[in-house]
Amino acid sequence: MSKMPKWADAILIPLISILIAFFFSGVVIWAIGKDPIMAIKTMVQGAFGSTQGVGYTLYYATNFIFTGLSVAVAYHARLFNIGGEGQATLGGLGVTLVCLSVPWPHWALALPAAMIGGALFGAAWAFIPAWLQAKRGSHIVITTIMFNYIGAALVGYVILNILKVPGSMLTESARFPAGAHLPTFHEMLAPFGISFNKNAPANMSFLVAILASVAFYVLIWRTRLGYEIRAYGQSESAAKYAGINPARIVIIAMLISGALAGLMAINNVMGEAERLIDNAVEGAGFIGIAVALMGRNHPIGIFLASILFGFLYQGGAELAFWESIPRELVVVIQALVIMFTGALDNMVRVPLEKLFLAFSKKKEA
């Protein structure tokens, strides 16, 4: 029963879903008395119209690639890791401790160390729910949600009581040393004679995210471990038959997932803020769920979905700034995109499958 060509499944369905979401967003904007065409122009202009806009879009996208990969790796083991937010928060703490503990001479040394710090802390935060799931059967969705709150409270406490600069009124850590400063796109592209906006936060981490995507692909589809993760995800009983240890797979998949979420901190904490602030993750952990869903848990899909959500974040901010469209409405638009691309997938899929079927029948006739 061949239903639909692969390209239609991977590209056409998300595309149509996005268009529907944009249509309804337009209706909402029109309903509050604004011009939808103008709004979309402002968003596109704001996100892609200048190197500053592109820099912000890619900065957000980098966060989402990490958290999207994090959700996807767990999903391949049929684990729904909702804890990306908390794991990325803890990753921020790991990166901060690494960056502040050594007077780093150069970013090339600081970056690998910070990556290890972020990944370790993220993985550690995922380990507890993973262990509880594997050994005690506590549902991972519940525990990871709870660990988001615990993580936020824990890091808030550490900032206030340990990392805060004495005498400062700000709830943030000290600034990282200059040697831990990651090159921004402005600095990276200058040697090639390309001028990029100086203030845009996109940085070296974007390349790390792309490398992580490649590593993700190799892990899932080329290695034994990835094979076992996917096998376990498809059928636990079959995995047992094959001699794959379920508890081991749950824990390893969650460790990798947590590490990927924790890695995000090299972008938002080390690359952008260059210090640890409270609530540094800003919901990127949750966006990762939508990104993985929309990207079909494949690195290429996750990359494209991350760019889309980067555009929504950056374009949405511009919209709120220039068009006096309330910030809340921008959130509504983002929610519509998540709803149509993620939750209402079958609404587009079923009619489309019928359409393809009708076409293929006509061809036969």
Partner 1 sequence: MSAQNEAGRQETVAPTASATAPSVPAIELRGISKAFGPVQANKDIAISVAKGSIHGIIGENGAGKSTLMSILYGFYKADSGQILINGKEVQIADSQAAIAAGIGMVFQHFKLVENFTVLENVILGAEDGGLLKPSLAKARKLLKQLSDEYELSVDPDALIEELSVGHQQRVEILKALYRQADILILDEPTGVLTPAEADHLFRILEGLKEQGKTIIMITHKLREIMEITDTVSVMRRGEMTATVKTSETSPEELAELMVGRKVLLHVDKKPATPGAPVVQIENLRVIDEQKVERLKGVSFEVRAGEIVGIAGVAGNGQTELLEVLGGYQNGTGKVVMNSQEIDLSGKHSNGQTRRARGIAHVPEDRHDEGLILEFQAWENMVFGYHHAPEYQKNALLMDNAGIKAMTQSSMDKFDVRPPNPKLEAKSFSGGNQQKIVLAREIERNPDLLLVGQPTRGVDIGAIEFIHQQIVALRDQGKAILLVSVELDEILSLSDRIIVMFDGQIMGERIPAETNEGELGLMMAGITDTKHETAGADQ
The token duo for 94 is: 């790991």
- Alpha-carbon distance of 196 to 88, in angstroms, equals 28
The token duo for 354 is: 């019928």
- Nearer Cβ to partner 1, position 122 or 233? 233
- Nearer Cβ to partner 1, position 182 or 231? 231
Least distance CB 68 / partner 1 (angstroms): 21
Least distance CB 132 / partner 1 (angstroms): 19
The residue type of 293 is: L
- Alpha-carbon distance of 220 to 261, in angstroms, equals 17
The residue type of 199 is: N
- Alpha-carbon distance of 175 to 286, in angstroms, equals 27
Q: N- to C-terminal Cα distance for the chain? A: 17
- Nearer Cβ to partner 1, position 100 or 293? 293
- Nearer Cβ to partner 1, position 199 or 234? 234
- Alpha-carbon distance of 173 to 219, in angstroms, equals 35
The residue type of 257 is: S
- Which residues contribute to the site for partner 1 (CB under 8 A)? 1-3, 218, 222-224, 227-228, 230-231, 234-235, 237-238, 240-245, 357, 360-361, 364
Residue 72's φ and ψ, nearest 5 degrees, are -65, -40
Least distance CB 244 / partner 1 (angstroms): 8
- Nearer Cβ to partner 1, position 160 or 247? 247
Q: What is the 3-state secondary structure (H, E, C) of 183-216?
A: CEHHHHHHHHCCCCCCCCCCECHHHHHHHHHHHH
Least distance CB 230 / partner 1 (angstroms): 7
Least distance CB 231 / partner 1 (angstroms): 6
